[in-house]
Amino acid sequence: MLAAVLCGCNYYQETGRSDTSDPPPIPQPISNAALDLFGNISEAAEDPNNFFIVGEGSALSYNNSRGTVNWVAWRTTRADLGPSVERPDFRPDLRLPAGFKRVSPGDYSGSGYDRGHLVPAADRYGNLQLLDETFLMTNIVPQTPSLNQYPWEQLESYVRGQVRRGWDAYQVAGAYGEQRVLKNRVAAPANCWKIVAFVRSGETDIPVDSRTRIIAVDMPNRAGMERENWRRYLTNIRIIETKTGYNFFAALAADLQETIETRQQFVVR
């Protein structure tokens, strides 16, 4: 049986918040929209290094040996966006089974790496519960400040701009390779990658065809990227598959999958 951990925790118990004067929004049903689109790309299940978790706003594969996710999939809609709000504290993910490595914010302290979000906090400002989920350490990977704060953040902002223009963004992101291990617990990746498919807002059947606008990037996790534009790292999906061993869009017909995955992805300014 597939060991998918489903998030059903109490909001205030999990976040440690005691101010109940402004109650959280009604929890949304678990959304598998991005997972349905991209597929379970690593066939995540019970393996501790490919452990499947479905939360309220994302689905992910966790790697216990690395102390980070392998990948995480989520959808961003205009309703998810909002004005900047107070950001929660980073915290360990209590959804992980007993005996798993529960990384804490302190494991990054003094390392020279940022706590880099994969699901961006700003993608969730419109829903406090989903925002809190982005600060679980299972959504975080060690990123150099020059990657996290420059081209990676620029891409995140670009995607949100497209969402505000009437698109829903179906996203999957992850990391591969290893530079070093922080405090013998967390592997800093060599590269971070992301794939985004844009679907007109309100579409419910998630249509994907040869004309679907998709962008894919593969960025090195290094210093000296402050002046680099994220578009420099555009690639195609097949290259990311080769680097990671994952299989995207497995449910599509073989010829359509070939077309989508091998074309050079394009960008609308």
Measure the CA angle with vertex 156, ends 51 and 54; round to 5°. Answer: 25
How many CB atoms are closer than 10 A to CB 20? 9
Q: Which of 117, 124, 160, 194 is catalytic?
A: 117
List the beta strands (DSSP E) in the chain: 5-6, 51-54, 59-63, 68-76, 114-117, 140-143, 167-176, 180-182, 186-188, 191-200, 213-220
Q: Cα–Cα distance between 20 and 22 in angstroms, integer?
A: 5
Q: Cα–Cα distance between 146 and 228 in angstroms, integer?
A: 9
List the beta bridge partners of residue 217.
194, 234
DSSP for 77-125? -GGG--S--PPPPPB--TTSPTTS----GGGGTTSS-EEEESS-GGGGT
Structure tokens at 44: 């995540």
**Catalytic residue list contains 117:** yes
Q: Cα–Cα distance between 248 and 242 in angstroms, integer?
A: 11
How many CB atoms are closer than 10 A to CB 259? 14
The two beta strands, 5-6 and 114-117, are unpaired
Which residues are known catalytic residues?
117
